[in-house]
Amino acid sequence: MKDIAAELDLSVSTVARSLADSPRISRETRLRVAAAAERLGYVVDLAARAMRSGTSSIVGLIVPDIRNDFYSTAAKAIADCCQERGHQLVLAVTDDDPVLELEHLRNLRSARALGFIIIPSVTPAQETLRLMRTTPHVQFVRNCDRVESDWFGIEDAQAMRLAARHLIELGHRRIAYIGSTIAISTGRDRLEGFRATLREAGLAVDERLVKAGSCDSEFGYAAMQEILAEPERPTAVITAGARMSIGAYDCARAANVAIPSAMSFVGFSDSPTLRWCGEGLTTIALPIRELAVTSTDFLFRKASPDWKGANPCRVTLQPSLLVRGSTAAPCAISEPA
């Protein structure tokens, strides 16, 4: 700013106010200062600004895995919202490691971040929970009930109800399930939605066909291997996670399982990958961008000095079923008598 002031024969305070777009400075002077700043390569000292204001322009997004199309789509939508408001999104990936998650939160707090959006790990550390209680944030998709905070998610039980009802209506009675651990809210709610739908249809849940574990494709592959090793295979399988859907489908194809004639398959999330598999996978589509934009808008309002929110806000959006070529009536029903 001293260089700009010297070149334009202005005071440093006038330059500072011009760069801050103060109405106290004439438009002509502000334009001259802006042109000189551009020419001289002036960069705003964000650390100094944060010290003065108490917060920076940084917004954190903490996710377990960026390879998941769901999270990468959400990250793009959140980044767009931040850019529109003159803020910068900082992405942190935890791999569901509570130690790494805490480190990321400490760094965001140290950088005086405006706030953060978090998909919490399975077992957050006590200090992580404390930082969540004392920093503006929104829980996204997963809900850690040990922290009473605002949560934006999907109707997870309804997602599995849509999938299970579709298969039951096609005539399937022996249906397998591959989902994430019940230690997280999404895994717990999706599995309960699956179980409840089968019970309502008068069908027994064969626990040998229920696989709950990690959220990655490797687990999906291994779970499908176990299901295919059963003496009596299911006629259909539901997957309750984006990456595990890919792993389970890859395993079925590697084992030469004919989809859908030998086994119907329901995926999760509507990534381009699922559209390109064979005739396309029947899947649960999620309103990812809408959820991301809604939660980001809420975070900005929550971080405002005028915020007067009291009780935690809970917002859930509805999934939908996209029927494609991976589901059909089981062979015993579809063949003529």
DSSP-derived secondary structure for 263-279: -EEEEES--HHHHHSTT
Q: Tell me the pLDDT band of 46, cut-offs 50, 70 and 90.
A: low
- Give the pLDDT confidence of 125-150 residue by residue, as tens digits: 999 999 998 889 999 999 998 888 99
Q: How confident is the model at residue 334 (pLDDT cuts 50, 70, 90)?
A: very low
Angle (nearest 5°) at CA 195 between 192 and 197? 105
Tell me how far apart the alpha carbons of residues 145 and 167 are, in angstroms, rounded to a whole number. 32
Q: Are 193 and 257 in contact (CB under 8 A)?
A: no
Residue 70 has pLDDT above 50, yes or no: yes
Contact 297, 314 (CB under 8 A): no
- The CA-atom distances, in angstroms, between 117 and each of 77, 89, 142, 245 are 12, 10, 11, 25
Is the pLDDT assigned to residue 337 strictly greater than 60? no
pLDDT tens-digit readout, 303-330: 887 887 778 889 999 999 999 999 999 9
- pLDDT at residue 181, rounded to an integer: 92
- For residue 6, give the amino acid letter: A
**Which domains does the chain show, CATH number per domain?**
2-43 (no CATH), 55-154+288-316 (3.40.50.2300), 156-286+321-334 (3.40.50.2300)
Q: pLDDT grade, residue 54 (50/70/90)?
A: very low
pTM of the model: 0.79
**Residue 333 clears pLDDT 90, i.e. is over it:** no
Q: What integer pLDDT is reported at residue 306 of this predicted model?
A: 80
Task: Provide the token pair at 142.
Answer: 């997963």
The burial of 48, by beta-carbon neighbours within 10 Å (0-12 exposed, 13-18 middle, 19 or more buried), is given as: exposed
Within 8 A by CB and 6+ apart from 123, the residues are: 98, 183
pLDDT of residue 53: 45
Tell me the per-residue pLDDT of 246-302, one tens digit each, with 9 for 90 and over: 999 999 999 999 999 999 999 998 877 666 666 789 999 999 999 999 999 999 998
Taking the CA atoms of the chain, what radius of gyration do you get in angstroms? 25
Other C-beta atoms closer than 10 Å to the C-beta of 253 total 15
Length of the chain in residues, anyone? 337
Q: What is the pLDDT of residue 55?
A: 55
Over range 16-42, report the average pLDDT: 85
- C-alpha 146/C-alpha 105 separation (Å) is 17
> Measured between alpha carbons, how far is 177 from 238 in angstroms, rounded to an integer?
5
pLDDT over 70 (residue 336): no
